[in-house]
Amino acid sequence: MNAKDVEKALMKISDKNKGEFLARFFKTGKGQYSEGDVFLGITVPAQRKVVAEFKALPLSEIEVLLASKYHEFRLTALLILVWQYEHCKDVKLKKVMVDFYLKNRKFINNWDLVDSSARQVLGDWLLDKDRGILYEYVLSKNLWERRISIIATHRFIMEKDFVDTMKICEILMEDRHDLIHKATGWMLREIGKRDQKPLRGFLDKYSKKMPRTMLRYAIEHLTPELKKKYMSR
């Protein structure tokens, strides 16, 4: 079992027309956030079937897939890594996987790649550990490292631990990229789904200066009256 086997399995289910659509959807044009990314046109459910077949792929072979120019190869690699991490009971081996994830983060270079792995691997690992690395990434010039920093906190939110999410949202308030506005608003919304009090406290303090996309995402599940209140500020 090696990377070539996975590549062959994925190529068999590629779809040129879907690939062209995905290339447009993920903004791969010149100057866009995914400039140069190459899509084969393979749906995520189809990739998950390949993951099930190759879930025991060694890390060295996962690394080969991660370095590919093909988006679906990289996503499948990450989904295999997530499966292995979530089913691993050995803490030392989990640490190896997290170190591998961080070492190869330059290949985690699109929003779906981040969103499919940051919470599941890095966020889970940091539940009971120092979270300083997130505060390094949030200040990065690299868009995807900044997105990793906020999306990883989704795992904390699941445990009703909101402190780091809100701190990172504060730092990212001035970020210029729409993908960061969406991610921060999404995480604030996730807080509100569990407890509206901290969300409303954040909104009371920052709604006037929050990017509008961030605000719209954050208030999605509030009452019409509250939405109107915060959007009119």
What is the C-alpha to C-alpha distance for residues 24 and 13, in angstroms, rounded to an integer?
20
Q: How crowded is residue 121: how many other Cβ atoms within 10 Å of its Cβ?
A: 26
**CB 117 within 8 Å of CB 151:** no
Residues 5 and 36 in one domain: yes
Tell me what pLDDT residue 233 has. Answer: 67
Q: Letter for the amino acid at 220?
A: E
Question: Does 29 share its domain with 88?
Answer: yes
- CATH number of the domain enclosing 142: 1.25.10.90
Q: Please check whether residue 77 is in contact with residue 65, taking contact to mean a CB–CB distance below 8 angstroms.
A: yes
In order along the chain (233 residues), what is the average pLDDT of each group of 10 residues?
A: 93 88 81 81 94 95 96 96 96 97 96 96 97 97 97 98 97 94 97 95 94 94 92 80
102 and 214 share a domain?
no
- What tokens appear for 43 in the block? 């749906």
- Indicate whether this model's pTM tops 0.85: yes
The reply to whether 81 falls in a domain is yes
Beta strand ranges found along the chain (DSSP E) = none
pLDDT for the residue 36: 77
User: Quick one: pLDDT at residue 218?
Assistant: 96
At 146 the pLDDT is 97
User: Based on the domain organization, do 175 and 202 belong to the same domain?
Assistant: yes
Q: 222 and 124 in one domain?
A: yes
Tell me the C-alpha distance between 1 and 226, whole Å: 54
pLDDT of residue 27: 81
Find the Cα–Cα–Cα–Cα dihedral 187, 193, 196, 198, rounded to 10°. -30
Is there a contact between 220 and 191 (Cβ–Cβ < 8 Å)? Answer: no
Count of domains for the chain: 2
Structural domain boundaries enclosing 230: 117-233
Euclidean distance between CA atoms 206 and 194, whole angstroms? 20
Give the per-residue pLDDT at 109: 93
Give the angle subtended at the CA of 121 by the CAs of 23 and 146, to the nearest 5°.
60
Residue 37's pLDDT is what? 84
The confidence score (pLDDT) of residue 118 equals 98
Please tell me whether residues 91 and 121 are part of one structural domain: no
Co-location of 224 and 144 in the same domain:
yes
Residues 99 and 180 in one domain: no
* The 3-state secondary structure of 88-116, one letter per residue: CCCHHHHHHHHHHHHHCHHHCCCHHHHHC
Residue 173 is given by DSSP the state G
Token code pair at residue 188? 């604030």
Please, are residues 153 and 187 in contact by the beta-carbon 8 Å criterion?
A: yes
Q: Which two tokens stand for residue 87?
A: 């089913």
In a domain, 112, yes or no: no
